[in-house]
Amino acid sequence: MKYAEIIIEIKAKEVDRVFCYIVPEKLEDKICEGMRVSVPFGRGSRPTEGYVIGISDKPSTTHTLKEITALKDEFPVLTKTSIELAKWMREKYYCTLTDCLQCMLPKFIWGKVVKYIHRGKNFAEGDNISKSAVKQAEVIRLLKEKSPLRRDFLRNEHKISYETLKSLADKNIIEITEQEESRDLYNTENSDPGLTHNPTPEQQRVIVSIISDFESNDKKPFLLRGVTGSGKTLVYTEVIAEALKRGKQAVVLVPEISLTPQTVQRFINRFGSLVTVTHSKMTDGERLDQWKKARRGQVSVMIGPRSAVFAPFDNIGVIIIDEEHEHTYKSEITPKYDAREIAVKLQEICGATVVMGSATPAIESFYRAENGIYKLLELNNRINMKMPEIYAVDMRDEIVLGNKSMFSVKLQNAIKQTLEQKKQIILFLNRRGHSTFVSCRRCGYVMTCESCSVSYTYHMKENRLVCHYCGAAEKIPEVCPSCGSAYIKYFGAGTEKITQEVNKLFPEARVLRMDADTTKSKDSHRQILNAFARGEADILVGTQMIAKGLDFPNVVLVGVVAADLSLNSSDYRSAENTFQLLSQVSGRAGRAESGGKVLIQTYMPENYCIKYAKQNDYISFYREEIEFRRQMKYPPFSHICVVLFSGEDEKKVISFLHRFAAFLDFYGKGKDYEKIGPGAAAVSKIKDRFRHRVIIKGTEEEKLKNYIFYCLEKFQKKENTKEITISVTMNPTYIP
Ligand code: ADP
Ligand code: ZN
Ligand code: ZN
């Protein structure tokens, strides 16, 4: 007799363990690890889905065992690697195994396949159905008109229950089949292999280093620091080509597919239909199709955002993480995994070579490279050998000159000149989490969303105030709700305002705008970028959306309208983020023969991150920043854990959190943990739920995590915390 270890597909913590089932004889030959099965579960033996994560000859328990009912697919949906990874993730990110498995499997697998009802073998006998079986008779009548019929149609339009269909099917009057609908995938037909280049000697050296690691037993992740325009993408494609030659597969992670269409196209040009692309706007069905193609080995390269790190390949040779410093690699929802950490774990589990590339690596990553945890590779030269000239423009001088426009005289002149040369311009608004708010000039009152406690954002087109957290909208009041004055004004610069100002100053220029408002529909990113690439506009105005990976040879001028916006946040990463954004956007200028120019408008030109961005000097920036982190005991010299409590009753949230903090104090006594708070979260209310948090710093991640979860466990044993939600985040991108 055989026994199977099974994880039940229910998210509750109580069932987050392995259950043992008997494998019935008829399934003995077919069952294997990683398969999806149907099992009776719980007291009612309700049919439930589960995953086989082990098979043995002995039962792992002495309890009475139930039998597996059926196999759901003909092949294992989970690879050995993914099972091992899930077990590791569960410990690392404090979540259930089911949470982890759901990252690895497309949603659709959980039974959303279309069912069809056909006329059965004994359909003719359906005349003999008793008149009292009204519903059964109705099905037969409908099937006489048309066959097959969709199951959901019968349910929604005719209220036909599953029992009705089952009793008809048992008598073979009808037949039920399942079918998947085929869907359009990202078009990989449009590939053009002629567009690839031969590597330069500098690129070749890097490629050779990475390839020689393939068979090595002493693997370390590579950190590839290559200045913007140094040709990192070609390095990636050459390395992948070699992996494929050796019968392996490749995963390419990009921060966001829609923002990097050119990068994706280069992979398609090189590998054609061997590539599959996942993205966040895909339907569940599309995702499933791609997943299957990868699982069946019909494709060998998967490109996508962080979730693509779970590509169901059997033999991953290389994992590329482009723009590795991007915050999108960290998941904000459970399980709160970091795709970079998963990649490094995959290197350990299945020997994949990991390459993380960036012009401006995360401070933590470069620190690891300096300390030998990563291997550093560098590309120091642009392919065209021309770095853009970067200037800072001190905006304080403009006020003295009486220039109240958001464009300095220098930037205005540069725009004029570039337009005359018939070249293109990018105007960039350094806006991450900052927005145009409306306030009273007399008393300072700021218009705020009542349920989220964040300031409303002013939308010029609809002339309304919109909350970016919950979507609530309001008219702008005529007078200040607080003091009654009529001086209600909006502050800060939005992309709309920039566009308006450009239209005023340069009425002949054709302007495109790219931000969250203009890119709501599925294909809008690509359309805007393509239009700009085709030269249908002279100026592209945008937020950080346009900072990444774009390669427009005709752009010779980049203007950063307000560099300081992201510097003035309270986050310890604000200097790093600002430096990275400025470097990225500067990298968009002068990518062709002609070279290019960048103007950074700022009120603090002496700030080190502006200074080094201007000099294009990552290393000096890193030296200064790492000293600051060391002195302040910020990551990488510590780990920061945020425990956030939220709930509808603020008093309860606060009192629970204070009692939890007492546990932290008690068990942390005499240890070198630093507790900050408890206090209200930066956004203290979202969708009518109050949010308070406590921050704990510690030097060792593992110890810090164990300490916090120990305290949580003790706390939850003592208190009934049903009314509040507890979330724990290790080293969050932004402190909530
Ligand atoms: P990065 O990602 O490092 O900013 P890209 O990969 O976008 O740089 O490359 C910059 C430009 O140089 C692209 O237009 C690319 O096609 C081109 N390029 C890259 N490698 C070569 C090469 N070996 N020969 C000629 N052109 C190249
Ligand atoms: Zn007022
Ligand atoms: Zn709101």
Residue 723 has pLDDT above 50, yes or no: yes
Does residue 494 have its Cβ closer than 6 Å to ligand 1?
no
What ligand is nearest to the CA atom of residue 269? 1
Residue of the CA atom closest to atom 5 of ligand 1: 231
Residue 439 has pLDDT above 50, yes or no: yes
What does the mean pLDDT of the chain come to? Answer: 86
| Confidence category of residue 681, pLDDT binned at 50, 70, 90 | confident
Residue 185 has pLDDT above 60, yes or no: no
| Confidence category of residue 566, pLDDT binned at 50, 70, 90 | low
3-state helix, strand, coil in the chain (%, to 5): 35, 25, 40
Instruction: From the CA of 266, give the closest atom in ligand 1.
Output: 16
Q: What is the pLDDT of residue 183?
A: 43
Average of per-residue pLDDT across 137-151: 90
Could you give the C-alpha distances from 478 to 481, 485, 486, 489, 643, in angstroms and in order? 9, 9, 6, 10, 41
Does residue 234 have its Cβ closer than 6 Å to ligand 1?
yes
Q: In what order do the strands lie in the sheet with 457-459?
A: 457-459, 464-466, 473-475
How many Å lie between the centroid of ligand 1 and the Cα of residue 233? 7
User: Rounded to the nearest 5°, which phi and psi values hold at 568?
Assistant: -90, 25
**CA–CA separation, 575 and 625 (whole Å):** 8
Q: What is the pLDDT of residue 205?
A: 97
How many Å lie between the centroid of ligand 2 and the Cα of residue 681? 26
Average of per-residue pLDDT across 535-556: 85
Does residue 403 have its Cβ closer than 6 Å to ligand 1?
no
Residue 401 has pLDDT above 90, yes or no: no
Q: What is the pLDDT of residue 468?
A: 62
| Confidence category of residue 267, pLDDT binned at 50, 70, 90 | very high
Summarised one tens digit per residue, pLDDT across range 374-398 is: 999 999 998 877 778 899 998 878 8
Burial 616-650 (b: 16+ CB within 10 A, else e): bebeebbeebbeebeeeebbbebbbbbbbbbbeeb
Q: What is the pLDDT of residue 595?
A: 74
Q: Which are the contacts of 240, defined by CB distance < 8 A and separation ≥ 6?
A: 250, 252, 267, 270, 271, 301, 318, 320
What ligand is nearest to the CA atom of residue 447? 2
Residue 113 has pLDDT above 90, yes or no: no
Residue 568 has pLDDT above 60, yes or no: no
Summarised one tens digit per residue, pLDDT across range 192-251 is: 666 678 999 999 999 999 999 998 888 999 999 999 889 999 999 999 999 999 999 999
Q: How many C-alpha atoms does 421 have within 13 Å on its Cβ side?
A: 16
How many Å lie between the centroid of ligand 3 and the Cα of residue 459? 15
**CA–CA separation, 98 and 8 (whole Å):** 8
Summarised one tens digit per residue, pLDDT across range 316-353 is: 999 999 999 998 899 888 888 999 999 999 999 999 99
Q: Per mean pLDDT, which range of 52-61, 473-482, 487-496, 709-718 is the poorest?
A: 487-496
Instruction: From the CA of 553, give the closest atom in ligand 1.
Output: 14
Instruction: Assign residue 542 a region (left: φ > 0; alpha: ψ between -120 and 50; beta: otherwise).
Output: beta
Residue of the CA atom closest to atom 2 of ligand 1: 232
What ligand is nearest to the CA atom of residue 484? 2
Q: Which of 119, 117, 133 is nearest to 173 (CA)?
A: 119
Q: How far is CA 278 from the centre of its chain?
A: 12
| Confidence category of residue 695, pLDDT binned at 50, 70, 90 | confident
Which among 551, 580, 588 is the best mutation to test ligand 1's pocket, defined by most ligand atoms within 8 Å of the CB? Answer: 551
Does residue 245 have its Cβ closer than 6 Å to ligand 1?
no
Summarised one tens digit per residue, pLDDT across range 637-656 is: 999 899 999 999 999 999 99
Q: Per mean pLDDT, which range of 22-36, 329-343, 569-583 is the poorest?
A: 569-583
Summarised one tens digit per residue, pLDDT across range 590-630 is: 776 667 899 999 877 888 999 999 998 999 999 999 998 89
Q: What is the pLDDT of residue 471?
A: 67
Q: What is the pLDDT of residue 111?
A: 41
User: What are residue 645's DSSP bridge partners?
Assistant: 692, 726
How many Å lie between the centroid of ligand 1 and the Cα of residue 277? 21
Residue of the CA atom closest to atom 16 of ligand 1: 231
Residue 36 has pLDDT above 80, yes or no: yes
CA angle, 429 then 400 then 502, to 5°: 35
How many Å lie between the centroid of ligand 1 and the Cα of residue 378? 15
Residue 445 has pLDDT above 80, yes or no: no
Alpha helical stretches, state H, 551-676: 574-586, 608-614, 618-632, 650-668
User: Rounded to the nearest 5°, which phi and psi values hold at 104?
Assistant: -95, -15
What ligand is nearest to the CA atom of residue 439? 2
| Confidence category of residue 191, pLDDT binned at 50, 70, 90 | low
Contact 401, 451 (CB under 8 A): no
Q: What is the pLDDT of residue 110?
A: 42
Residue 432 has pLDDT above 60, yes or no: no
Does residue 231 have its Cβ closer than 6 Å to ligand 1?
yes
Q: Which are the contacts of 643, defined by CB distance < 8 A and separation ≥ 6?
A: 660, 693, 694, 695, 696, 708, 712, 726, 727, 728
